[in-house]
Amino acid sequence: DQQVKQNSPSLSVQEGRISILNCDYTNSMFDYFLWYKKYPAEGPTFLISISSIKDKNEDGRFTVFLNKSAKHLSLHIVPSQPGDTAVYFCAASESTSGTYKYIFGTGTRLKVLA
Amino acid sequence: DAGVTQSPTHLIKTRGQQVTLRCSPKSGHDTVSWYQQALGQGPQFIFQYYEEEERQRGNFPDRFSGHQFPNYSSELNVNALLLGDSALYLCASSSTGRGAETQYFGPGTRLLVL
């Protein structure tokens, strides 16, 4: 039973355009969400987070949107750059007694074309 | 400021053997989580250590065990290795008790079981 799903295995975008990566979850108890990007042969790098008390969080070129009723979140990258080419993972957790155990999606491979 | 470090970077073992992987958390972090990432999948939560105790565990058998030391570094031990244990093992550190936890990952240890 996959509680966090990234249904698009891959995405190609032209440099300078917007990249939109999607993530769906099934557990309504999830209340904290993270996005990571991963280059080959490296560990995941934290990008941006969002708490369930918000519906949007912005950090530079990265914006995460959360739709709790749809159990859906998305990561927008504007403008996309060739260096953004990587695999992107979303992760979700419920804060049980202040502890966080993250469930990850299977990732979306983003390719930004120059 | 050193990030999360892991050793070794690569390891080859044979079925039935035992392996120990090591992790040093980011400076100022006191919590260590371990994840297993199989090829083409997202990281899967193994367990989390805080104050030298295992406080959360994922769906992994008892062959997977760990330890946290007073300096917050951690070890992951896997006994009776199976071919299916071949994966990238990731360590993530975070800081408990300072609000929602963002986890920062190390580069991982790639384990190959033959």
Which pLDDT belongs to residue A96? Answer: 72
C-alpha span between A56 and B62 (Å, rounded):
40
C-alpha span between B105 and A37 (Å, rounded):
11
Chain A: give the shortest CA distance to residue B96, in Å: 7
Chain A: give the shortest CA distance to residue B28, in Å: 17
User: Which residues in chain A touch residue B55, judged by CB atoms under 8 angstroms apart?
Assistant: 99
Q: Which residue of B has its CA nearest to A43?
A: B107
Which pLDDT belongs to residue B101? Answer: 81
What is the block-wise mean pLDDT of chain A (114 residues), using blocks of 10 residues? 91 97 96 94 93 95 97 98 97 82 95 95
Residue A77's closest CA among A48, A114, A53, A34?
A48
Interface touch A101/B33, C-beta < 8 Å: yes
SS3 B83: helix
C-alpha span between A77 and A11 (Å, rounded):
13
